[in-house]
Amino acid sequence: MSCFTLTHLQAQQTISYCTPTYNYDCEFGSEINDFVLSGENGTIINDLATGCSGGYDDRTTSGDTITLAQGGYYVAKISTDAENNDVALWIDFDNNGTFDETEKIGEGALIDGSLVDIQLSIPESATEGIHRMRARCF
């Protein structure tokens, strides 16, 4: 099983990503409040109580990275302040600046204020290298 580094939070200067737009921003609590993901070799993303930042929070400047393995299974622990929300996660494996449906690695339902386990599956065919991840409530 080969590993690759996932840049959930580390900017890639050569790729331009779109900024999602939201109709309600923070009005209905549709933000990710907590996000925890443990990877290989002790790497972890541990963003707690981030609150709402206007609907979209670009965390690329924090410098956190996580290493995930091709064919690996992981559990992201995610919470929201909304009564009912769904969440989906993608990794831009081909680094084309677009989070394609084929790059979705997990999705699930969130419950107001509770850390919910969201199962993530990294394809065996995932390209090794540095990639960006997006988690989005809807």
**For the chain, counts of helices (H) and of strands (E):** 0, 9
Distance of CA 27 to the CA centre of its chain: 22
Residue 42 DSSP class: G
DSSP assignment, residue 112? B
Burial class (CB in 10 A: 0-12, 13-18, 19+), 20: exposed
> What pTM was estimated for this model as a whole?
0.79
Q: What is the pLDDT of residues 51-99, one digit of tens each?
A: 665 555 666 666 678 899 999 999 999 888 777 778 889 999 998 888 8
Closest C-alpha to 6, from 77, 107, 91? 91
Model confidence at 23, pLDDT cuts 50, 70, 90, reads low
User: Among the listed ranges 22-31, 36-45, 108-117, which one has the minimum average pLDDT value?
Assistant: 22-31
Q: Please tell me the distance from the alpha carbon of residue 88 to that of residue 23, in angstroms, as a whole number.
A: 18
How high is the pLDDT of residue 33? Answer: 80
> Is residue 120's pLDDT more than 90?
yes
